Amino acid sequence: MPVEIERKFLVKSDAWREGATATPIRQGYVFADPAKNVRVRTLGDLGFITIKARRQGAGVSEFEYEIPLTDALELLELACEQPVIEKVRYTRDEHGHTWEIDVFKAANAGLIMAEVELRHAGEPVQLPGWVGEEVTGDPRYYNANLFKNPYHNWKDQL
């Protein structure tokens, strides 16, 4: 069973931009609650459907399958809760890890998060200088919650 173990951080500077590659993402949720969700995503010109279920301890069971882009676009409009999340994902390698930096748009504009996937829960990670506060355990920052309660609704309360 595939397990995703990741840590999420806010981004405190633009130093990550040099050498990063960008891919636009649109994603929506057919079903989302704290324990499990079903997500549809376009990643550039590819489509995916993903099922995630939280596990005890670190990690999430994740099952992701490529689907035709036309199916993903139709599902985003017909089957997903609205609004869908729009963001641009940048990737770059630092200190032996690949970092994904998401620059959110629309209702989540202003939010920039970085995440790094780990092979196991105790794996050490050297944080780049542009990485800020860790938000791994804060449910406000879960994508499955950002469409329900977008960043623009609560950013001034931070």
Domain assignments of the chain as residue spans, ordered by start: 3-157
- CA distances to 40, 57, 77 from 97, rounded to whole Å, are 26, 22, 35
Superfamily of domain 3-157: Hypothetical Protein Pfu-838710-001 (2.40.320.10)
% of the chain residues with pLDDT over 70: 96
What residue spans of 68-142 are helical by DSSP H?
69-78
Has residue 112 got a pLDDT over 70?
Answer: yes
Q: CA–CA distance from 60 to each of 46, 50, 55, 121, 140 (Å)?
A: 23, 12, 5, 11, 17
Model confidence pTM above 0.75: yes
In this prediction, residue 57 carries a pLDDT of: 62
pLDDT in tens, 71-107: 999 999 999 999 999 999 999 999 999 999 999 999 9
Catalytic residue among 29, 65, 142, 151: 29
Q: Is 65 a catalytic residue?
A: no
